Amino acid sequence: MFAEQMNEVVFHVDVNSAYLAWEAVDRLQHGSPVDLRNLTAVIGGDEASRHGIVLAKSGPAKKYGILTGETLYAARQRCPGLIVIPPRYHLYMQCSSALIDILRQYSPVVQQYSIDEAFISCYLPAKDPQEGVKTAHRLKEQVKQELGFTVNVGIGPNKLLAKMASEFEKPDKVHTLFHHEMSDKMWPLPIDELFFVGRATARKLRGYGIYTIGALAALDPALVHAWLKKPGLLIWQYANGKDYSQVTEQGPPIKSIGNSNTIAFDVTDRDTAHQILLALTETAAMRLRAIDQCTRVVAVAIRSHELFTYRHQRKVQTPLDSTSLIWHQACQLFDESWKGEPIRHLGVHLSELCGNDFYQLSIFDQHNEKLSRLDQTIDLLRSRFGNSSVFRGCFAHSPIRPLMGGVLQEQEEEYPMMSSQL
């Protein structure tokens, strides 16, 4: 007998209003009589720390015109009775992991795209073109029944079209977007709804009279290249439904690590700025060592209280993974670039990463190995006893947290700091 012919299709699974949905489900599971998804509610940052933006919104809040990414102040202007819930990232990571576990029941090849999105590759019988839709509905209903939140599932021949399909009508929907459906479903859409087209690119294209995805798809690619250079060719390919990337469990290689923080007060002195840079470097360097990499380029970003941002970077002679040595570079960069104005936001960025298994040490860099061993010991203690189990003495009586950025900041707020100091 002949083997049944199978076709590969790609699913893109996207959680509807993820942070708010996960918060609502957790509260219902712990006895709450109300569902946040039915209220005018948002997940929002800490306004006291100047992180006051909307991270996720409910359906009723959306009807007031509230947008993800806008300030909570602006959101309250539209809806004075708005309910604001602080984020709980550890909960969101648990919900994301539970979602991935279900997706693995449908395919061994699952690529997590973000905390609330994933691609899966499925091989389905070619003789039944509707099998993909049926499978997607089963998946969607299983997530709803077992985890309590809803997802959109987009189906397509590649990752691009599957992702575009999942963005169609929400929530709790299944949509397809195959090449023969592009003229009806994708090409009439506004140009800024095409994946990878940001506000600046959309503005440029509209300036050339290109308002829809279909209008971009119909252009000569040489003309798009003349307008937008190499990125223009990529978005032209996307407009024509072309995407050659594969669904793979292994994500793309990490090319850089960044860590930044909006500070709860205006920083006006060098010593405080250096201490904040140390807290940012601690977190960034831990992440660097966790993937067994070193950095060749260290950069510092400064944003003033008037929201003017500038950046200064340097390529180091010897690749680094030591917190102390990276911080030393960051402080030098800061001192060389700071103009003396009050600072609202600071960032440390590490790029041109390389493996830490071998690099050439100069005769002046032998102490790097001792510093690296010290950092590795600290990383081990933090992994076993929590990120707040060991911290530097300069933070003992300081309002500045010893580790800044990412979910670490929230973890420090939840779990009281232990007494070990460096």
Residue 117: active-site member: yes
- pLDDT tens digits in sequence order for the chain, 422 residues long: 445 677 889 999 999 999 999 999 999 999 999 999 999 999 987 666 555 788 899 999 999 999 888 888 889 999 989 999 988 888 998 999 999 999 999 999 999 988 899 999 998 877 677 889 999 999 999 999 999 999 999 999 999 999 999 999 999 999 999 999 999 999 999 999 999 898 889 999 999 999 999 999 999 999 999 999 988 999 999 999 999 989 988 766 678 888 888 887 889 999 999 999 998 998 898 888 888 888 999 999 999 888 888 999 999 988 888 889 999 999 999 999 999 999 998 999 999 888 766 444 444 455 566 777 778 777 777 777 766 666 776 777 777 777 776 544 443 333 332 223 33
Q: Which of 164, 166, 165 lies closest to 151, judged by CA? A: 166
Q: Residue 346's pLDDT is what?
A: 93
Instruction: Please give the single-letter amino acid code of residue 8.
Output: E
Distance CA 304, CA 321 (A): 29
Distance CA 119, CA 129 (A): 19
Distance CA 268, CA 83 (A): 34
Q: How many residues does the chain have?
A: 422
Tokens 């012919």: give the residue.
5
Maximum separation of any 2 CA atoms in the chain, in Å: 79
Query: Under a CB-based contact definition with an 8 Å cutoff, are residues 348 and 311 in contact?
Result: no
- State the pTM of this model: 0.70
Q: How far is CA 333 from CA 83, 189, 346, 404, in A?
A: 42, 45, 12, 19
Give me the residue spans of the domains in the chain.
Answer: 1-180, 187-239, 256-414
What is the CATH number that goes with domain 1-180? Answer: 3.30.70.270
Tokens 């509707």: give the residue.
130
Distance CA 259, CA 212 (A): 36
pLDDT in tens, 133-166: 999 999 999 999 999 999 999 999 999 999 999 9
What is the CATH number that goes with domain 187-239? Answer: 1.10.150.20
Instruction: State CA 194 to chain mean position distance.
Output: 19
Q: Residue 263's pLDDT is what?
A: 83
Q: Residue 45's pLDDT is what?
A: 74
Distance CA 349, CA 354 (A): 15
The structure tokens listed for 52 are: 């006051």
Q: Residue 368's pLDDT is what?
A: 63
Buried b (16+ CB within 10 A) or exposed e, 256-274: ebebbbbbeeebeeeebbb
Buried b (16+ CB within 10 A) or exposed e, 403-422: bbbbebbeebeeeebeeeee
CATH topology of domain 256-414: Dna Ligase; domain 1 (3.30.1490)
Instruction: Please give the single-letter amino acid code of residue 76.
Output: R
Q: Among residues 23, 70, 117, 282, which one is catalytic?
A: 117
309-320: strand order across its sheet? 256-267, 343-355, 293-304, 309-320
Q: Fold match between 1-180 and 187-239? A: no
Q: Treating both helix axes as pointing N-terminal to C-terminal, what angle do 323-337 and 270-290 enclose, rounded to 10 degrees? A: 140
Instruction: Please give the single-letter amino acid code of residue 31.
Output: G
Q: Provide the H-helix boundaries in 218-309.
A: 221-239, 270-290
Q: Which residues pair with 251 in a beta bridge?
A: none
Instruction: Please give the single-letter amino acid code of residue 269.
Output: D
Query: Under a CB-based contact definition with an 8 Å cutoff, are residues 227 and 204 in contact?
Result: yes
pLDDT in tens, 301-323: 999 888 888 999 999 988 888 88
> Which helix (H) or strand (E) segment is 76 a member of?
helix 72-78
